[in-house]
Amino acid sequence: MGLLENKTAIITGATRGIGKGIALEFAKQGANVAFTYSSSVEAATALEAELTAIGVKAKGYQSNAANFDAAQTLAAEVLKEFGTIDVLINNAGITKDNLLMRISEDDFDKVLEVNLKSVFNLTKAVIRPMMKQRAGSIINMSSVVGVQGNAGQTNYAASKAGMLGFSKSVALELGSRNIRCNAIAPGFIETEMTAKLDETVVDGWRKAIPLKRGGQPQDIANACVFLASDMSAYITGQTLNVDGGMITA
């Protein structure tokens, strides 16, 4: 028996990295998985097959989370197809890093739109069905950068810190309906994105982390399983730092 047996989860941006890790772990724990992707049709088809092979229901949706109407349509389609929406994981995100002096208005707006507005769009789309069920868990993927900032990432940090305030407010508004909302703040997680970086730089980062290693998508997925499951039934409005000890405050 998995910890997420008979639950349906929507996971945004799930064809690679952290999102993919979450989707696979959720399937292993018995959850049915509806996931979104922006452009990689082949990766989505492959993931759909991989999840289905685990023995759960899975379906990929090409959907832009940053578009309000697209998010409403997605929730309606998932509800029709799966019957319930028990968990929402707002994971889709982008970076457009630069020093503030060099960031263009477009680079600022785009990051805020994809990373933060998408959280509003999808949360708004799922709260009605969750309120009817009188149950639900919303998990927002923030970042260590949203908790403590990072030079060269004002846009990304603002979007990820904005998620934290949003999550706490949702927790306060919807707690009486048994809908929980928490955030996860990953530290340095090793994915396809970080594999392109200079190995000596990455090694320096690893050495600076108390646990002396980068995190794996699995590490974030495990935290998501906990927050999505009934094991965390009395936890809401929290930010869980999954970062190997980078932040201890």
What DSSP assignment string belongs to 187-218? -SB-SHHHHTS-HHHHHHHHHHSTTSS-B-HH
Q: Considering the domain 8-240 in this protein, what is its CATH number?
A: 3.40.50.720
pTM of the model: 0.96
Record the tokens describing residue 32, joined without a space.
């049915």
Among this protein's residues, is 156 annotated catalytic? yes
How do the domains of the chain map onto residue ranges?
8-240
The answer, yes or no, to whether residue 178 has pLDDT greater than 80, is: yes
Q: Which of 37, 61, 156, 234 is catalytic?
A: 156
Question: What does the pLDDT look like over 11-60, one tens digit per residue?
Answer: 999 999 999 999 999 999 999 999 999 989 999 999 999 999 999 999 99
For the stretch 100-112, pLDDT in tens is 999 999 999 999 9
Q: Is 224 exposed, middle or buried (0-12, 13-18, 19+ CB in 10 A)?
A: buried
**Residue 150 to residue 169: CA distance in whole angstroms:** 24
Neighbours of 25 (CB within 10 A): 21
